[in-house]
Structures are given as C-alpha cells and as structure tokens.
Structure 1
C-alpha cells in the first residue's frame, strides 16, 4: 500500500527535521512515514490542538505513542494472538460498573471516614502565600483558610498569576502557556446497538467533532431497562473561538447533525441533549513550551508548603492514572520527605506506555528486572486495588 511504501521510503531516506527542530510532524513521519501521518495523525491532532503539527512539540507523540510502532500495529491487525498486546491496542478494560466517578466517590468516603473533610461547591480564587511559603487558600468569597501544605490542581497559569511577588520572567512565561477548551455534547440516542467501540476518533476535517464516546459500551449497568445509548461528542476550541460562545441549543443541533453526517445515528434518533463546557483542560505542547515551563518549575520548587499536580496543575497531558500516581507520590513527599520528582511523571516513567494488559484488563509489568520504577508501579496498582474495595 501507499502507506507501507511511504514508511519504507522514510526508513531508507528519512526527512530531516526543519532546522534541527523535532516536532510532532517530524517525529511521526520518521516513525510511520509521511503517508500514514497525513491520513491518520495530522487532521485529528490539528483538530485537537488548534495549531499545525509542525508547530506542535514532539513531546505529545513521545508521551502518547512512545514505543508503539507500525510493526506492532500490523502485527495486531493480522494476528489472532492477543497475549502481550500493547496498551495502545487493548480492547479490554477494567472499568467501574457505574463509571469512573465511583473511584472518586470512594476516595471522598475514605477521607470522611478517617477524619478528613471534603468541601464541595467551594470555589478557590488563589493560593495564599507569604514570601516563598504557601500559607493556605483564598476562597472566592474572600475568606482565607490557613494550611500547613497546599496541593494545587488548578490550572498552572492561574495558580502562578495568583501568587504574590512572582518575578516578571515567571509571570511572562505563565501568560505565554496555552490551554485548549472542550465542549461536551451529550446525546441520548434511541438505539442500544450503535457501534461496538468504546469511542471513535473522527479524523475528517469536514466535521468539527473530534471524538465520540459510547457509554453503553463502557458500562451497560448504567442503563437498566433503557433501550438507548448516551454518546458524548467532544469539540475542542480556544476561548476566543466562536464555537465556545455558542448556546446549548446550537451545540446540541450541531452534535445531531454531525452524528448523522458520520453515519452513526440519524438526527431523528437523537432525543435529549446536554452540554458541558470545560475550560483549560488540554495543555498545549506548542514548540518552545518546555523553555516557558522551566522557569515556572524552578520558581515553584522554591516555594515551601506547595505542591502542584495533575493535568492542569503541572501542565502535563496526563491520563487519570498519571494524575492518581502524582497524588500518591505527592503524599509520600509531604508525609515522609520521599523526594519524588513529580515533574517526571508522564515524562520519564517508562512503564506508562510500555506496559502490557492482562486478561483482567489490568496492567502488568514488562520483564524489566530491577527497574527503578517497579516499586512505584506496584504501589500504584496496590492503591488502585485498595480503592476498588473500600
């Protein structure tokens, strides 16, 4: 095929990165060939990030594609052997019966049962600080709550700009980092057998929707006797884009229309709709972002009593597992001074994308005896198993 020929051509005579700079485009072309890059990676990635792939840092590919290769994809496509399947291609998952929200409800219950408090509906304006020490949090109503240590998951840019006495260099760097927004359009479809996949990625540039998730395929226990399927259509945009300011009626209509154009369901089958907007949910790995992030990291490392974690808080394109792991290691740093470098999570921790999936849908370690990460991975899995029981 043309994709295979393009791959061979790239291996024989590779394209040189522009001015020696490695971008998402050059990284993927080098690994998969230009043809596959153009028909599979390019349109979806530019829809997600809102910038050309030539302006997107290669870190996005390194973190999300990593050791996955064209050879592994072809092997999976033509082989019936499912043992040792790469995590990227897994088709079986360990999933809570009523959705991932169950995990966080259990966490909240555990905190409450052990003397802690969970405050809902309590917007935080900023991290309160005195000199180079975090002293608590300032709430939206102006009240200040004092704490010995603050763990922040609020968007890194907003957190830094809310601190007192930040240097002009760090302020400028924080203002230059960018996030993408997500609009989720939920549609209740009068059909329980729409398609077999958990989610579908939409590569067509003719459609604004980027991904469609079918929650019935994740957990039919949510539906009881209902003969319908709830789909979530994801639209990505910047805050300045017209789409972000559109009303719910327009967005639900757009979702119905694009679902029909994709051939997945008729507009008539789409019953109720609901819209949820999420601001600053994708940290944009534009070229040069690491140079902007470094002075911010150095500055925050010097502030006592403050830890930043999570996708928003650390400006990392984390999955839930990365962020939960950051929380576990942050707790160890606070409790016993373990000294884990949390900036490394989803950057240097190799197990994240080289793990294999067992028949239960859970991750197991590869044969990497003596890896410095094995103990961390095992404790992370033990914590996940514990959370499933409490």
Structure 2
C-alpha cells in the first residue's frame, strides 16, 4: 500500500502538491477542502453567467518551472501570438508549439497589462512613470516637494528601519510616500504604516525605487522605437480564458483521474501528534461527523492560527499565544454589472460605453473606502456574459465582523455603487445588478504578534512529517507562483526523505523580482 500524504486545502499550493505526487506515483495524495470548490482565492466565482477573479491573478512568473507547469495544464490558444519573457537579463520566448484551438476553451490567453492609479480624480500610470501625464497631474509645487524630500531621505535616511513607514520613506522620500503609499497601504491593512513590519516592504517592493523608475522610463522610451513584433511579459501576461479557477479545476480533474482523492466541505478540527510526528487528522465532514484519518505525511495550507489551535496534545502555551493573535486582513469583492461608465478624457477608453482599458485601477482617493477596481472584461472577454455589458469588481479590505463585513448584500451593493458614482466613474441609472463575495483571512498581516512568528515556525517545523506551504500555511504574503514553488519543494522533501524545511521557507526571500511591484502587490 502506498504511503498517504494528507493535504489540507485545495488552493494553488495544495493542488500543486497533489498533482506532483500523482505524477511521481509513489504516494497517494488525499486533499481536504473546507469549501465546495477548488482554487482557494484563485478560484473563479460565477454570477448569472458572469465570472469574477477574486483579487486578480496575472499568470506570470520568473520561474521556468511554474510557467511550463501552467502551460502544460492550459496551453496558449492557437489564435494568440508568441510572447517574449524578459528576466534575469535574458529573453526567452513562450511559443505556441502546443497551441490549442480557441474554441476548445481550455486555453491561456495573452493579455496586455494595464494598471493605473486613480488619484485627485485623475489617472496615473502604474508603476509610476515619469511621463507628461504624471508630471501634469501632480503639478509643479507637489513635484518640487517630492524632489526635495527624496533628496533629504537620500542624504539623511532613517537609521533604525523598524517599520514599513521607515522603509518607504527611506526608499521614496516623505512626500512621495504620503502621496502614493501611505493612505492606500493603511486602507489595505487597517493600521498605520508605522505599525507594519519593514519586512513586508522588503519582501513586496524591494525592487522599486525612484532611480529604477527613471531607468524604466528611459528603457520604455527606447523600446517604443523598437520594431520587434514580440512583446514582453513585463507588459503582457497569460490568463486562463475562463479565469484562474479554470486552471485549478483542470488540475483537480487530473489529480482525481490519477488516483488522488479530493474531499469537499471538510473542516480540519485538529492534528494528533506524537514523538515529533503527526499521526492523524481529525476531519469534520459536511454532515457533521468527525473521523480520524491517518497519514504518513501532512502538507498544510490552512491558517497557522487554526492549525496550532487544533493540535493534540496542545502546542506549548507560548506558541499558542503567538499563533492565536496572528493578524489577518479580510476581503470583500462587490461585482457590479453596468451598461456604461462616465466619460473621462484620461480614461483612454476607445469604446462607446467608456470602459477603460485597465485590468485593475488602484483607488488612492481618501474619501472612499474602495481600494481597487477590477474591469473583468479586460482580463478575458469570456468572463462577461454579454459584450455590451461592463463587469466591474470593487475590492474592499476589511476585518471579519466589522461594519463592511456585516453589511447585508443589498446594502453593500448600494454602498459600492454610491462610491463609484462619487468617484465620477458611473451613474446610478447605469447599474444593472450586483453580487457580493466575502473572503476571510485573505492576507496574512505583518504586525501584532508577527514579530514572534519564528517561535511558532520552529515548533511546527519540529514535527518532521508536517510541511507548511502557501500563503496562509506559512503566514507569508506569497503570490500564486511562490505558493506553488513551496508545494513543489515540500513534495520533493517528502519523496527524498528530508525533514529540513529551510529550502521551503527560502522561497520569495532572496528573490529580487516580483510580478507586481509596489502597490500592485499590496492587494493581490
């Protein structure tokens, strides 16, 4: 009988681990998922024929393994052009040698990346570009303040860089920090930047600086004169035709077809351990029945605080106290279907209904609570049931149980519509209908007891057959590709008989590239 690997969670990390085990063939993965569908926050939510991508997922990684893994599951559509990836100073072509006819449906599209910031009721390029629009929108006085404060930060940096505020002021200067980072970041996390660990900035926006923005502007100027027909994945990305959930549904199908098991609506009540090893999982089924499931290995993507609280015998009190107080940020997406948007000369719309070309727009304005606006039409036309409709996703960062979280759906939809009208983006009369999706523990946070997290990690790593992977599993703000890489390394460690987890924890630590830099990383 093959050894059993119990996998907690059917998101990107859990399903990647399951499929890698199926491909190897020496062990049997059994996946337990709390909800009734796969994908985690990378799932696709359907509402009356319209599909929502929760949080937005651009399929681009500098890892060849990840890129090839995705393309093996969903090949690039035959009607899409070849794309050139640029990273590590090298150019590599993602070709269509395994292209699939578009009508097949199980395909990746090549999409143009457009993200902008909405501030002062004007549009700014994202990443911030030193172009005429940016300079005009900011105005001479603000530009002078930005320049002088950046010079001051360069000459007299903050020495004790303990907080995210210290990190950002040192990197951009006080004025630029307050203009484009402070309000939005605090809207996302709900606490002052002075209370967030500098480690968050080092992980998420370590490659961004004013100097890099200038270099980017110069490079972009040169590339605009380049007549090459191929495009770069700095400006383009791959995307499943029916949203990210389409890929993970196909992965789940392959896991089940290969002999793995996926059980839905199953709550993990706790793990039983003895002599430094996990022996069994206590699983509550949808019917409320609890059973013990023995496993040779466990790969966990569940929230660390929930994992620790369910340990039997209990974890040491110091570990429990830290884990129980680990902070998270929760997330609401309001889907609004509208017939048209208001005209804005800066929106760059080329449509009669005034739909902007952006994948998402970062709402920097202080007088509204919405943090980001997705335009699902621009991710994939097939996310929208009708071509003459605009399908919008308004993203709110909140806390489970707060005023937004507990607002009834109809009032939340009305609240979101009011905010878009206040931003001069829509008229109420053009709103057709809407829906609300709430996602708890979307973002593991870097404040509170997070500073003591190494104590929790050390104890959990001491259970030699337990492997923590993914965003919530590691309480780390990983992207989809990083979560997949942690799962890959966990599977390799299990198959090779390794109990050291250091290589798993090293993912996204020394990586000097990030798919979405700066603010774009804040809410993904």
Please indicate the TM-score interval, normalised by the length of the shorter structure. 0.7 to 0.9
Give the aligned partner of residue 214 of structure 1: 375
Secondary structure of 1:230's partner? Answer: strand
Q: Point out the structure with the larger strand share.
A: 2
Shift, 1:21, TM fit? 4.4
Match of 1:312 among 443, 447, 472: 472
Question: Where do 5+ consecutive residues of structure 1 fail to align?
Answer: 356-390
Match of 1:146 among 272, 287, 294: 294
Secondary structure of 1:185's partner? Answer: strand
Give the aligned partner of residue 172 of structure 2: 32
Give the aligned partner of residue 459 of structure 2: 299
Shift, 1:90, TM fit? 3.6
Shift, 1:170, TM fit? 0.3
Q: 1:261 to 1:131 in 2, by over 3 A?
A: farther
Within the alignment, does 1:346 sit opposite 2:508 as a pair? yes
Deviation string, structure 1 residues 294-349 (Cα, Å, up to 9, x no partner): 11111011113211111111100111111111111111111113555222222233
Report if the CA contact (8 A) 1:194-1:264 is conserved: no
Report if the CA contact (8 A) 1:64-1:353 is conserved: no
Report if the CA contact (8 A) 2:326-2:448 is conserved: no
Give the aligned partner of residue 366 of structure 1: none
Give the aligned partner of residue 393 of structure 2: 232
Give the aligned partner of residue 117 of structure 2: none
TM-score (ref. length: structure 2): 0.63
Within the alignment, does 1:45 sit opposite 2:185 as a pair? yes
Match of 1:110 among 243, 254, 264: 254
Question: How far apart in 2 are the matches of 1:225 and 1:169?
Answer: 55
Question: How far apart in 2 are the matches of 1:287 and 1:130?
Answer: 31
Match of 1:135 among 279, 282, 286: 279
Report if the CA contact (8 A) 1:134-1:305 is conserved: yes
Secondary structure of 2:186's partner? Answer: helix
Question: How far apart in 2 are the matches of 1:261 and 1:80?
Answer: 36
Question: Where do 5+ consecutive residues of structure 2 fail to align?
Answer: 1-142, 227-232, 341-352, 518-524
Secondary structure of 1:315's partner? Answer: coil
Question: How far apart in 2 are the matches of 1:352 and 1:214?
Answer: 23
Match of 2:238 among 86, 94, 98: 94
How many residue pairs align between the two structures?
347
Question: How far apart in 2 are the matches of 1:21 and 1:295?
Answer: 22
Within the alignment, does 1:70 sit opposite 2:210 as a pair? yes
Q: 1:270 to 1:82 in 2, by over 3 A?
A: farther
Shift, 1:239, TM fit? 2.3
Report if the CA contact (8 A) 2:330-2:397 is conserved: yes
Deviation string, structure 1 residues 158-211 (Cα, Å, up to 9, x no partner): 111110221011011112211111111111122364211111111122111111
Give the aligned partner of residue 199 of structure 2: 59
Give the aligned partner of residue 371 of structure 1: none
Shift, 1:263, TM fit? 2.1
Give the aligned partner of residue 482 of structure 2: 322
Report if the CA contact (8 A) 1:49-1:284 is conserved: yes
Within the alignment, does 1:162 sit opposite 2:310 as a pair? yes
Give the aligned partner of residue 9 of structure 1: 152
Q: Point out the structure with the larger helix share.
A: 1
Q: 1:325 to 1:184 in 2, by over 3 A?
A: same
Deviation string, structure 1 residues 42-66 (Cα, Å, up to 9, x no partner): 0000011111001111112111111
Shift, 1:288, TM fit? 6.0
Question: How far apart in 2 are the matches of 1:80 and 1:310?
Answer: 38
Q: 1:24 to 1:324 in 2, by over 3 A?
A: same
Secondary structure of 2:165's partner? Answer: helix
Question: How far apart in 1 are the matches of 2:365 and 2:172?
Answer: 20
